[in-house]
Amino acid sequence: MRGSIIKCLWWAGGLILAWGWGLAPLAAQTPGVQLIVSPQTVSFSRLPVKGPVAAAQQTVTVQVVAPPQRPWRLTVMARGPLQTATGKNIPINLVTWQGSPGSVFTNGTLSADRPQLLGQGQGPVVGTVRFFLKSSWNHATGSYNQGLTLELSSP
List the one residue out of 62, 63, 43 whose CA is nearest residue 131: 43
> pLDDT tens digits for 68-80?
999 999 998 888 8
- Report the run of H or E that residue 109 belongs to, with start and end: strand 108-109
pLDDT at 20 over 60: no
**Domains held by the chain: number:** 1
Quote the pLDDT of residue 13.
41
List the one residue out of 141, 129, 122 whose CA is nearest residue 98: 129
Instruction: Give the span between the Cα atoms of 122 and 33, in whole angstroms.
Output: 11
13-22, 26-35, 54-63, 64-73: range with highest mean pLDDT: 64-73
pTM: 0.81
Q: Which domain holds residue 67?
A: 2-153
* CATH number of residue 61's parent domain: 2.60.40
